Amino acid sequence: MDTQPGQPASHVLRRGTMAQPKGTVILAYSGGLDTSCILVWLKEQGYDVVAYLANIGQKEDFEAARKKALALGAKKVYVEDVCREFVEEFIWPAVQANAVYEDRYLLGTALARPCIARGLVGVAQKEGARHVAHGATGKGNDQVRFELTCYALCPSIKVVAPWRLPEFYQRFPGRRELMDYAQKHGIPVPVTPQTPWSMDENLMHISYEAGILENPKNPAPPGLYTKTCDPATSPDTPDVLEIEFEKGVPVKVTNVGDGTVRRSALELFMYLNDIAGKHGVGRIDIVENRFVGMKSRGIYETPAGTILYHAHLDIEAFTMDREVRKIKQGLSLKFSELVYNGFWHSPEGEFLRHCIARSQQAVAGTVRLSVFKGHVSILGRASPCSLYNEELVSMNVQGDYEPADATGFININSLRLKEYHRLQSKVTAKQAE
């Protein structure tokens, strides 16, 4: 069958027959190679495609991406700016939690996925679509994160995941085949088969993986990092910042040097990104455990998130009761695991966020810190809710504390140790007989 004038090539199937109509599908669209090919492929399968593009802080020409999707045959394109809600509804709870996965990963991608998927479901409901689709691979975490959010928010939704369908991944076993398909269908793509790694960016971070990075021995090549400067060549003068918190959330940042002040959530976060990026703060290179069971190597830049992690950790230790903090640390560990694995919209996830938010009621005050040569250094802190008693802890003032009481405290705590080692001595003596 020949293409009719003005009709996209994607309407024509390889065998010359039209697929049966399957209704509307909302595609999480990025404008890149994978989702552009998927858009055309979905049309080949008989779907009317509505593209959903979330502006979550990535560097992207959204108008160009919209035009590209329409040119490829999308029936409609939604471009939604979700940056503010990403910060306020997803990043801030993570800051309150001191969320970090496996001791190092600050969860930039994992936090973004439920935010994007929520918008995807919203468009599906608005359009009356029964299907949504995404371009996540069948080996990664993002397929789980997208789909668990979709099913939680709309249990009747059907998900089309091309990279898990044999008819798709057998047809496109590698990037070369995708590139050939793109060229055949007139899909303009900004990458070539020689691109040595893949990237995923949002307001909080950027990740690099695959390609030459799959060998964990290979160091990050020159030119890889895009959000942060090389710490070795960063400015020789630090930026000193004061970050004010209320209920565990940053509400104001002041640059002590030049007097710059930012208060709104989005502006504050973007400013910290700029300052941290200028000084090379927020780089990590790790091997992590994916939810699906394999280990993967990822390189991440999380500039503002790194500053806020250190600042919040400090003000929380200053204002929170010791035993409450021990419990909260356990909750934070579970929170991070749930976010990483895609369970943001689970009952246990909602419960944890409620508990963590309750723990933050008195986490208020100001942290002064230095950002310099890849490091965040705490310089001081002040809080009206501080549990720190300078007189009580002073070596120069006795205060409301009787040093002689420590003798009994030590005696009681040493009792268990004395008994344990007394018994161990007997066992060792018997074994030596």
**What CA–CA distance (Å, rounded) separates 397 from 54?**
58
When pLDDT is averaged across residues 143-172 and rounded to a whole number, the result is 97
The answer on pLDDT for 323 being more than 90 is yes
Confidence of residue 175 (pLDDT cuts 50, 70, 90): confident
- The angle subtended at Cα 192 by Cα 190 and Cα 197, nearest 5°, is 95
Which amino acid is residue 2, in one-letter code?
A: D
Distance separating alpha carbons of residues 44 and 19, to the nearest angstrom: 7
For the chain, give the percent of residues with pLDDT over 90.
Answer: 83
Give the pLDDT band (50/70/90) at residue 195. Answer: low
CA dist., res. 356 & res. 98, Å (int): 10
Average pLDDT over residues 367-374: 98
pLDDT at residue number 305: 98
pLDDT range class, residue 155, cuts 50, 70, 90: very high
Distance CA 239, CA 254 (A): 10
Please report the pLDDT score of residue 186 as a whole number.
92
pTM listed for this prediction: 0.91
Handedness of CA 263, 269, 275, 279 (dihedral sign): positive
| pLDDT tens-place string over residues 95-116 | 999 999 999 999 999 999 999 9
CA gap 37, 148 in Å, rounded: 24
- pLDDT tens profile 54-70: 999 999 999 999 999 99
Among candidates 34, 29, 20, 33, which has minimal Cα distance to 70? Answer: 29
Judged by average pLDDT, the poorest of 4-18, 94-108, 334-348 is 4-18
Q: Are strands 23-28 and 47-55 parallel, antiparallel or unpaired?
A: parallel
Per the CB < 8 A criterion, the answer to whether 299 and 208 are in contact is yes
Q: What is the CA radius of gyration of the chain?
A: 27
What's the CA gap between 286 and 262, in Å, rounded? 32
Sign of CA dihedral 12, 14, 19, 22: negative
Mean pLDDT over the full length of the chain: 92
pLDDT at 78 over 70: yes
pLDDT, residue 13, reads 43
- DSSP β-ladder status, 158-160 and 131-133: parallel
Cα 106-107-108 angle, rounded to 5 deg: 100
Residue 4 predicted with pLDDT over 60: no
Mean pLDDT value across residues 25-33 = 94
Distance CA 285, CA 278 (A): 19
Tokens 């994607």 belong to which residue?
10
- pLDDT for the residue numbered 58: 96
CB 353 within 8 A of CB 335: yes
- Average pLDDT over every residue of 276-300: 97
- Catalytically active residues are 34, 113, 142, 198
Q: Let me know: does 282 contact 408? Beta carbons within 8 Å.
A: no
Reference 91, options 102, 78, 105, 106; nearest CA is 106
Least confident of 37-51, 154-168, 190-204: 190-204
As a whole-number percent, the residues of the chain with pLDDT over 70 amount to 94
Strand partners, 53: 79
Neighbours of 26 (CB within 10 A): 30
pLDDT at 191 over 60: no
The whole-number average pLDDT for the span 372-394 is 92
For residue 197, pLDDT over 90 is answered with no
Whole-number pLDDT of residue 18: 58
User: pLDDT tier at 189 (50, 70, 90 boundaries)?
Assistant: low
Q: Any idea which of 179-193, 198-212, 243-257, 295-309 has the lowest mean pLDDT?
A: 179-193
Question: Which tokens sit at 322?
Answer: 């010791």
Burial 369-381 (b: 16+ CB within 10 A, else e): bbbbbbebeeeeb
In angstroms, the CA 246 to CA 362 distance is 8
Return the pLDDT at 431. Answer: 85
CA 352 to CA 343: how far, in whole Å? 11
Contact between 163 and 133 (Cβ < 8 Å): no
Q: What is the mean pLDDT of residues 404-408?
A: 92
